[in-house]
Chains A and B, each alone.
Chain A
Amino acid sequence: MKLRPRTVASLALVPTILLTVIGYYVSILWTVGLSFTPSRILPVARWAGFDMYERLFQTERWHVAYTNLYIFGGLYIGFCLVIGLGLAIALDQSVRGRSFFQTIFLYPVALSFIVTGLAWRWLLNPTTGLQDFVRGLGFESFTLDLLSSPDRAIFTLVIAGVWHSAGLTMVILFAGLQSIDQEIWQASRVDCIPRWRMYWHVVLPMLWPVVVTCLVLLGMQVVRSYDLVVVLTGGGPGYSTDVPAKFIVDHYFERQNVGLASAAATLLLLTVVALFVLVSILRRKGAAT
């Protein structure tokens, strides 16, 4: 029997559909289900209501981790956008050696967060890195002990994260700038409007959809941030730089508390959903203006 090609086309999607439904959706539902059980190392099918969520909210480490998501996220996204936009605009001024600069700004994106974290851990290490170097220059009292300070270690994550991702933001925004109609510049010249005002009042609003795209991309990095934290700070000192992604993995595979980890994972999922609602509002707002 010979099947119609269109039927074959549908059948060709079956492996992917199966993989997706089981891998994503069954898994997600399973995790949400587990968050209502007192499972330790293996799943148990006993209803525990919101016990795990209650325990989670009483756990200081979770509050630190969840707060860090916003501190790190806000600073990381903010700096990536500011630096990325600055670089994109700078490169848009018909500079010499543009592709050279682009290559340098973008290469960290090709590196893993593991490599990024290792390089920066070493640079920021007080006894081997920058601090030692600057002191060697004669500034004996110079201190850059970000890594060993519970209050400031989070900034090391921001520095390394921005170093990794600002180039990507630049490329996307630069592509956005290039696609803007060049006639607006001629118009501005006729009206004698300074360039910075053009950027601020005209170009930036036109870039809005591209900025939202960057927000989504960077936001996903923030929610998933695990590798960088593990390598750069290990979540420390103490648990001051813990993030939800690490909290979850630690509780699944080290603390043997599947119920609690699943509750935390469910909250992370809800956070992503909320993020999406926010983004679609931003999109609509962009479209309205």
Chain B
Amino acid sequence: MRTEFNEIGRRSLAALVIMAGAGVAVPAVAEDVEVIHWLHTGSESAAIQHVANAVEARGSTWVEIVPPDGVSGANALFTSRIAGGNPPGAMFGSIGKQAIDLGEQGLMRNIRPLADAENLIATVPQFALDIVSSQDGELYAIPLAFETQNFMWYSIPAFEKAGLQPPSNWGEFLEQAPVLQEAGIIPIAVGAQAWQMRILHFSILAAEIGQSDFMDLYLRKDESVAKGDGVHNSFRILRELSQMADAGNANRAWNDTLGLIADDRAAIFVMGSWAGGELAAMGEVYGADWGCSIAGGDTWVVGATGFMIPDLGRESSGQDDFIRTILDPAVQTAFSIEKGSIPSRTDADTSQLSKCSQMVSAGMVEGRGVPNANSMVSGDAQGQIGDLLMNFWSDQSVSPEDAASDFARIVLNDY
């Protein structure tokens, strides 16, 4: 602990030095790695602490910058540092198209040589590398963990009341819906906000078109998939769902929507892995009050969380150590236990993860995963898809055919 007096002294001294004309920033010591992240609340902070300790254990110094205002503040700082010619060693976030954009502008480091030489990424699912690799295979970011997007959370008492079993696909669910309604239960809880609608839609889509078409559609912008029956079906299902949702769905926050499951007023809710922790926090018991399964099909949609690695323009053993740490299976396990996610390396120990997480990691080992659709399209296209879904959801006069062709146009026109 540095005393306040020393702090003042240090700053005044720094001020004097700079006043004296030595106005150039002191270059960081070679072993430092500067990391921008925004994990500052309880369990998140504990999760990142495991990473910090492991970096320090390798002999490098962990220097973290944590903008208190979250994602947007971190992003602004990251951009400013890059534009200012002084990039940080690593930047936390959901990794995806942005890393490729920056890589193509020559601002990201190609991690592939180091990762291949030390055999660090052989067990990371290929799709998680594809979404942050250039066409000629340069790798710009490293996945640390996966956040599952397409869980179906269900209320066990609600299904018992209607005398049904939780469905295994969307067709089955649509048949169950009238029975649930008759039993006085809202078949599906929905919060009509753009990001929640996107999750619901791409979860249905993943169930309907499966793994390889999902990748062809979003990553390779394949026209035959975009205009095919699968996309069309996804909008037909969404239209039926929009007719059975409760009146309060407009602009409802996700945790309020989840409350309908906790209160057994609704049967299912499609939402990401973070909902599990929230249900537990609401005092609900897994296996008695609620359960989880995949929202149709057998393909898990997972958001890759990790770090973008900027090009520092010099060798940095600190950055190297950081990369090794992030791809260390033991570190990944420790991080994911705290954060409620699953490790990006399929050979990491998952025995201590939650039951729901273990379900997903088993799927990953079998190669049944795709990346979050959001990470494969530009922010611009994400916004347009959100607008489209919101409009389709609230305006019953828009036909599924029209919505499907609008959707295809947006995806195919994305750069």
B83, B102, B107 — most chain A CB neighbours (10 Å): B83
> Is B399 an interface residue, CB under 8 A from the partner?
no
Q: Which residues of B contact A253 (CB under 8 A)?
A: 75-76, 79-80, 83
Residues of A within 8 A of B101 (CB): 40, 256
B105 within 8 A of A: yes
B107 partner, pick from A41, A252, A254, A258, beta carbons under 8 A: A41
Contact with B along A229-260 (1 / 0, CB 8 A): 00000000000000000000010111110100
Chain B residues 358 to 398 lying within 8 A of chain A, measured CB to CB, are 379
Most buried by B among A40, A253, A258: A253
Q: Which residues on B sit within 8 Å (CB–CB) of A250? A: 76
Does A42 have its Cβ within 8 Å of any Cβ on chain B?
Answer: yes
Closest chain A residue to B101, Cβ basis? A40
Within 8 A of A (CB), among B53-93: 72, 75-76, 79-80, 82-83
A258 to B102 alpha-carbon distance, docked (Å): 13
**Residue pair B76, A254 in contact (C-beta under 8 Å):** yes
User: Are A42 and B76 interface neighbours, CB within 8 A?
Assistant: no
In the assembled complex, the CB of A64 is this many whole angstroms from the nearest CB of chain B, namely: 14
Among residues 105 to 130 in chain B, which have CB atoms less than 8 Å away from a CB atom of chain A?
A: 105, 107
For B102, the chain A residues whose CB sits under 8 A away are 41, 256
- The majority secondary structure among interface residues of chain A is loop
Q: Give the residue of A41, A255, A258 whose beta carbon is less than 8 angstroms from that of B379.
A: A255
Question: Which A residues touch B107, using CB under 8 A?
Answer: 41-42
Q: Is the CB of B105 within 8 A of A42?
A: yes
Which chain B positions have C-beta within 8 A of A256?
79, 98, 101-102
The number of chain A residues touching the other chain, given as a range, is 10 to 19
Nearest chain B CB to A201 CB, angstrom units: 53
Task: Report the separation of the CA atoms of residues A258 and B98 in the bound assembly, to the nearest whole angstrom.
Answer: 15
Output the least CB separation between A148 and chain B (Å). Answer: 10
Residues of chain A within 8 A (CB-CB) of B82 are 41-42
Measured CA separation A256–B103 after assembly (Å): 13
Q: How far is the CA of A250 from the CA of B75 in the complex (A)?
A: 10
With a cutoff of 8 Å between Cβ atoms, the chain B residues found around residue A42 in the complex are 82-83, 105, 107
Flag if B105 contacts A254 (CB, 8 Å). no
How far is it, in angstroms, between the C-alpha of A250 and the C-alpha of B80 when the chains are bound?
11
- For A254, list chain B residues within 8 Å (CB): 72, 75-76, 79
**Contact status B75-A40, CB under 8 Å:** no
Q: In the complex, which residues of chain B have a beta carbon less than 8 angstroms from the beta carbon of A40?
A: 101, 105
Assembled-state Cα–Cα distance A105/B80 (Å): 39
**A150 shortest CB reach to chain B, Å:** 10
The interface residues of chain A lying within 8 Å CB-to-CB of B79 are: 41, 252-254, 256
CB distance from B102 to the nearest CB of A (A): 7
Within the complex, the shortest CB–CB distance from A160 to chain B, in Å, comes to 20
Complexed CA–CA distance, A250 and B101 (Å): 18
Min CB distance, A168 to chain B, in Å?
30
Query: How many Å lie between the Cα of A254 and that of B98 in the bound state?
Result: 12
- With most chain A CB atoms within 10 A of its CB, the pick from B72, B79, B107 is B79
| A63 and B355 alpha carbons, distance in the complex (Å) | 48
Report the Cα distance A150→B252, complex, angstroms. 16
Alpha-carbon separation in the docked complex, A19 to B380 (Å): 38
**Which residues does chain A contribute within 8 Å of B80, judged by CB atoms?**
253
- Interface hits, A33-58 → B, CB 8 Å: 40-42
Question: Smallest distance from the beta carbon of A257 to chain B beta carbons, Å?
Answer: 9
Cα A280 to Cα B228 in complex, Å, equals: 62
Chain B's closest residue to A249 (CB) is: B76
Per the bound structure, the CA–CA distance linking A253 and B76 in Å amounts to 5
CA distance A254 to B76 in the complex (A): 4
Q: List chain A residues, Cβ under 8 A from B379.
A: 255
How distant is A204 from chain B, measured CB to nearest CB, in Å?
Answer: 46
| Contact partners of A255 in chain B: CB under 8 A | 379
- A255 vs B82: C-alpha distance in the bound complex, in angstroms? 13
Q: How far is the CA of A42 from the CA of B82 in the complex (A)?
A: 8
Bound state CA distance, A252 and B76, in angstroms?
Answer: 8
Residues of B within 8 A of A41 (CB): 79, 82-83, 102, 105, 107
Complex CA distance for A40 and B98, rounded to whole angstroms:
11
CA distance A255 to B76 in the complex (A): 8
Tell me the bound Cα distance from A279 to B376 in angstroms.
Answer: 50
Q: Which of A156-181 contact B (CB under 8 A)?
A: none
CA distance A237 to B38 in the complex (A): 23
Cβ–Cβ < 8 Å partners of B83 in chain A = 41-42, 252-253, 258
Residues of chain B lying within 8 A (CB to CB) of residue A258: 83
Instruction: Return A153 CB to nearest CB of chain B, in Å.
Output: 15
CB A115 to nearest CB in B, in angstroms, measures: 17
Which residues between 239 and 289 of chain A lie within 8 Å of chain B, taking CB atoms? 250, 252-256, 258
**In the complex, how many angstroms separate the beta carbon of B73 from the nearest chain A beta carbon?**
9
Q: Which residues of B contact A (CB under 8 A)?
A: 72, 75-76, 79-80, 82-83, 98, 101-102, 105, 107, 379
Closest 6 CB pairs of A and B: A253-B76, A254-B76, A253-B79, A254-B75, A253-B80, A256-B79
**A residues lining the B interface (CB < 8 Å):** 40-42, 250, 252-256, 258
Report 17 cross-chain contacts, Cβ distance below 8 Å, ordered by A residue: A40-B105, A41-B79, A41-B82, A41-B83, A41-B102, A41-B105, A41-B107, A252-B83, A253-B83, A254-B72, A254-B75, A254-B76, A254-B79, A255-B379, A256-B101, A256-B102, A258-B83
